Amino acid sequence: MRYIDPHIHMVSRTTDDYKRMALAGCVLVSEPAFWAGFDRSGAEGFRDYFRQLTTFERNRSLAYGIEHQCWLCINAKEADNVALAREVIAMIPEFLAGPGVLGIGEIGLNKNTRNEATVFLEHLELAARLLELVLVHTPHLADKYQGTRMILDMLRDEPRIDPERVCIDHVEEHTIRLALEAGHWVGMTLYPITKCTPSRAADMVETYGAERVMVNSAGDWGHSDPLAVPEFIFEMRARGHDEALIRRVVYENPLTFFSQCPRFEFTPRGDAVAATP
């Protein structure tokens, strides 16, 4: 089955991962800007990163037959430095016209600080002004519920951004309903240990349905699995779910969400051959 991984940090992965993903049916990845594992020394470090995402990484992906899209922002961890964040936000528009940029992301909260909230709102202001899609990172573990509430409140107070143009990512059992009821898309992150397993994601699809629901691997430089979306497909098939439902979650939903970006163009390679899933 063809699938899309709507949240994966390919700069941290090898070309062998691209090949294994292509063999497993991956036709498109979307890569949000994130923390490099260390704080960058200044705004120019982000300019280099944005160039890497929009040129080198995109070409590396395309060489394996996988369309590459990305999202730009300063991540929540480094966004606690408001002065640095403002410099980075100011440089984002120069990259938006380039190929393969879907919008602003993954913005969000990490420790739910006042500075993080300030920078989150300034990213929203940019997205509202330029009519960009938004991808939101929600905090982990103990901070998740409170952080998700704060994020949903800030989004509700920004009427210029349609809820359907925002994806709330890393949802879990205690936050998925809040995000769906607010009218947003949601992403479930399939990690081997923390966040959500393929089995828990399948449970949530059974509970909440497939509308506006996506799954991703969030594969990065830590313990993660770039083939987590195929693991979800395997789990859903093992439970006897029909192919149309699975395809909706792993393929049609990300396409529908991304298609709200007017720059987004995607024709799967070898479409005539791949027409049967």
Please report, as ranges, the residues that interact with Zn ion according to CB under 5 A: 34, 218
State the CB neighbour count (10 A cutoff) for residue 161.
Answer: 18
What is the C-alpha to C-alpha distance for residues 210 and 252, in angstroms, rounded to an integer?
Answer: 10
Distances in Å between the Cα of 271 and the Cα atoms of 69, 253, 254, 274 are 19, 18, 17, 5
Task: Compute the least distance from the CB of residue 193 to Zn ion, in Å.
Answer: 16
- Residue 275 carries which DSSP code? T
Closer residue to Zn ion, CB minimum distance, 120 or 246? 120
Closer residue to Zn ion, CB minimum distance, 201 or 218? 218
Task: Compute the least distance from the CB of residue 121 to Zn ion, in Å.
Answer: 20
User: Tokens standing for 243?
Assistant: 């192919």
Angle separating helix axes 82-91 and 43-51, nearest 10 degrees: 40
Q: Which strand ranges, in their side-by-side order, compose the sheet holding 67-72?
A: 3-5, 26-32, 67-72, 101-108, 133-137, 166-169, 185-189, 213-216
What is the C-alpha to C-alpha distance for residues 204 and 208, in angstroms, rounded to an integer?
Answer: 6
Task: Compute the least distance from the CB of residue 135 to Zn ion, in Å.
Answer: 9
Task: Compute the least distance from the CB of residue 131 to Zn ion, in Å.
Answer: 23
Beta strands in the chain (DSSP E): 3-5, 26-32, 67-72, 101-108, 133-137, 166-169, 185-189, 213-216
Closer residue to Zn ion, CB minimum distance, 5 or 122? 5
Closer residue to Zn ion, CB minimum distance, 34 or 49? 34
Closer residue to Zn ion, CB minimum distance, 34 or 50? 34
Closer residue to Zn ion, CB minimum distance, 30 or 54? 30
Task: Compute the least distance from the CB of residue 136 to Zn ion, in Å.
Answer: 11
Task: Compute the least distance from the CB of residue 220 to Zn ion, in Å.
Answer: 6
